[in-house]
Amino acid sequence: MQRICLTLPTNRPCAESIAGLGQEAAYAVDNHPVEVHLLILDSCDASVYAQHAEAVRALPRHPRITVHHLSESEQRDFLERVIGRTGTAEPGRLLELMLPERVSYGACTNRAFLIAFALGCTSVHRRDSDSNYQSGPNGEAVFPVHHELACIGKQAADVADVVSETVLAEENAGRRVAMVGSSFVGEPSVDIDEIARVDPDAYQEIVSLWAPRDWSAAQKRQLVEESFRGAGQELFAQDHSLLTLVDPMRVDMCNIAFHGVHAQVPLPPATDTIGSDYFLVHLVYNAALPGVLHNRNIVNYYTPERRTSAGFVAYQGRFVKFLLSMLYFNFLYDRLAEAGSSLLDERLRVRATAVAEFARRSTELDQEENRERLDRIDVAYRKLGGKYADFADALASRRTSLLEEVRDDIRDFAVLTEAWGALVGAARDTALYGAEPGPRRAVL
């Protein structure tokens, strides 16, 4: 029986999201012959962790659903045992890349990948703690796992009769579906809508900075119009799914499933950087691996923490690091596009060595483009005034260190990519728990 990992990484209170995830797991086993390992990776403090544990205990029991609610200390214990099995000469560095002290969207998902391999899962289905599910025409919850389990890991030719529409070259029909995903409705995925309301010109200037430098003004305007909006406000009416090479701009990491590719290349473990977890979406597309794009969009919303002074500063910092990271990722995406199907070996697996080489080459780029980005960010934020001008002051004091930090993040990605095969192999031979499972690890 197919075994899947439905995962929710979190560093914020999200008992409601845990309850919803439990309902999606129940839907999966009620409608498909699968076992579900529901994995909650919890980086919250003790009091919030306790609230989440209560939410886990309240989930309905089912013989084919196993819930794993792991604190950071439990995640660290597992990682130390996995890393120890690899025989690496730098166990401390790998542990830091897998479980950094600072927020890392890529690292938390990489942990989910390794744990899924330890549990024998063939696919990983990721959701986010600041989102929930739409309701259908009859009030029923609209779960993305419906399309994911219908297609993920199957040969594209076998999925053609399952999906609503196919736009896939015949030469790719023999490849397996590596990714199934959709987007979101509701609030924009990046919390900068206030900038658009206060000063549309500043918004255009700032958001356009993630485009490649040589793009035309028209291309940049189009990118800004599409950025961070997901599926807008389009509500679910009926199912539609498309077998294709999925455009990375059409899916979101709160609504995605991977098969195979996550065993070959990890996500960049960059810290304090939004968007650092989207690399595999681009890799699947450029390597011409089949995917399915569906319309069971998730509802995105903002948590109260972002509205605090500390939350504002932290989030804007992550957004700026995202803009700076694009110097390197735009180079990487260009190299992936040039390589195309040559990224795959004779068994249609991604050649991690090629990806690591591209990442290392990107770190040799001149940082002048990023210095210009910081100049333009400074001008735009000071024009906005108030808290944005205060943030610009703080950013100016970090200018040199920030440039180096972003480049170091890419070096770290190369290091982790080179080690990933060994980590995956070790995870497959490592028990998730070092001791007998406790009560909250029982089958639910």
**CA 101, 104, 107 angle in degrees (round to 5)?**
95
The strand ranges marked E within 225-297 are 241-244, 256-259, 291-294
Q: Which residue in 104, 111, 105, 95 sits closest to 39, CA to CA?
A: 111
Q: Which residue in 285, 278, 84 sits closest to 190, CA to CA?
A: 278
Q: pLDDT tens digits, residue range 401-412?
A: 999 999 999 999
Q: pLDDT tens digits, residue range 126-138?
A: 999 988 999 999 9
pLDDT given at position 234: 82
Q: pLDDT tens digits, residue range 43-76?
A: 999 999 999 999 999 999 999 999 999 999 999 9
Reported confidence tier of residue 435, pLDDT bands at 50, 70, 90: low
Average pLDDT on 36-43 reads 98
Residue 367 pLDDT greater than 90, yes or no: yes
Question: What pTM value is reported for the model?
Answer: 0.96
Residue 441 pLDDT greater than 70, yes or no: no
pLDDT given at position 228: 87
Average pLDDT on 108-118 reads 98
pLDDT given at position 37: 98
Q: How much is the CA Rg of the chain, to the nearest whole Å?
A: 21
What SS3 state is found at 391?
Answer: helix
H or E segment to which residue 47 belongs: helix 46-57
Average pLDDT on 360-374 reads 97
Average pLDDT on 96-125 reads 97
Reported confidence tier of residue 306, pLDDT bands at 50, 70, 90: low
Among left, alpha and beta (phi > 0; psi -120 to 50; other), residue 169 is beta
Q: Exposed e or buried b for every residue in 408-444, given b needs 16+ CB within 10 A?
A: ebbebbbbbbbbbbbbbebbbebebeeeeeeeebeeb
What residues have CB less than 8 Å from 217, skipping those under 6 apart?
none
- The helix/strand count (H/E) of the chain reads as 16, 12
pLDDT given at position 311: 85
pLDDT given at position 189: 76
DSSP 109-146: HHHHHHHHHHTT-SEEEE--TTEEE-B-TTS-B--THH
